[in-house]
Chain A
Amino acid sequence: SIVTSAASETDAEQLPKEQHARSVLRESFLRCLLSMTNKKVRFHLHERVKVEATFGASDIDVLNFQVSDLHTPIGVQKEALIRCQDVISFTFEA
């Protein structure tokens, strides 16, 4: 129909723009993650839990952060994985 062909024309124009935007945003985010390697990071988790650790690596789906020397309220855990779902935000100095 006319409606669907008009819609797909707009999509065809829109798609490369959207792909470009996505790639610019993603590349910049990945660089930001890479720059965190070995940095001290403060995590704000749900339930007002705040912990500090040395950042190691993130998986690409942003589900888990691998960290070292995690300072928990009950002591230091040498190696840990933090679930991104538990995290509200995190901060580091660049």
Chain B
Amino acid sequence: MQCDWPLLGPLKWIRYVNKQVKVKAGKDEERCGWLLTVDPVSASLVLVNFKEEGGASVQVVMGHAVEEVEVLREADDETTERLQTSFLPSKTRRLDP
């Protein structure tokens, strides 16, 4: 699925959100992760990989370096929830003690 990633635009980028993707960037470098968001200014992708012991590893791939983005699978509800609450502002977590 070759595409000119930086030119796709918000409506196409948002379709990749909550999908597990494989991104080719730079010279023969590949990375996988759940796509949290795409910066509409720089076309950079934010990939999240959850760790078994809790927490997550976050990888940001700069839009200008992206060569190919491939969708591997869709997130289930639990993964989506986990993904989308990772960087929420404190005010939406007001139920926390």
With A25-B14, A93-B58 known to touch, is A32 a contact of B46 (CB < 8 Å)?
A: yes
Residues of chain B within 8 A of A44, CB atoms compared: 26, 29
Measured CA separation A21–B88 after assembly (Å): 17
Q: Which chain B residues (2-18) contact chain A, with CB distance < 8 Å?
A: 9-11, 13-14, 17
Residues of chain B within 8 A of A78, CB atoms compared: none
Asked whether A88 lies within 8 Å of B65 as measured between CB atoms, the reply is yes
Asked whether A28 lies within 8 Å of B14 as measured between CB atoms, the reply is no
Asked whether B9 lies within 8 Å of A18 as measured between CB atoms, the reply is yes
Asked whether A35 lies within 8 Å of B14 as measured between CB atoms, the reply is no
User: Is there a chain A Cβ closer than 8 Å to B39's Cβ?
Assistant: yes
User: Is there a chain A Cβ closer than 8 Å to B69's Cβ?
Assistant: no
Binding site secondary structure of chain B = mixed
Number of A-B contacts (CB under 8 A): 99
Please encode chain B, from 36 to 59, with 1 for each CB lying within 8 Å of some chain A CB and 0 for all others. 111111101010100000011111
Contact of A94 among B10, B17, B29, B57 (CB under 8 A): B57
User: Is there a chain A Cβ closer than 8 Å to B97's Cβ?
Assistant: no
Measured CA separation A20–B60 after assembly (Å): 22
Measured CA separation A17–B13 after assembly (Å): 13
Contact of A62 among B11, B39, B57 (CB under 8 A): B39
Please encode chain A, from 42 to 68, with 1 for each CB lying within 8 Å of some chain B CB and 0 for all others. 001010100000000000111000000
Output the nearest chain B residue to A14 by Cβ-Cβ distance.
B11
Min CB distance B27 to A, Å, is 8
Binding site for A on B (CB under 8 A): 9-11, 13-14, 17, 25-27, 29, 31, 36-42, 44, 46, 48, 55-62, 64-65, 86-89
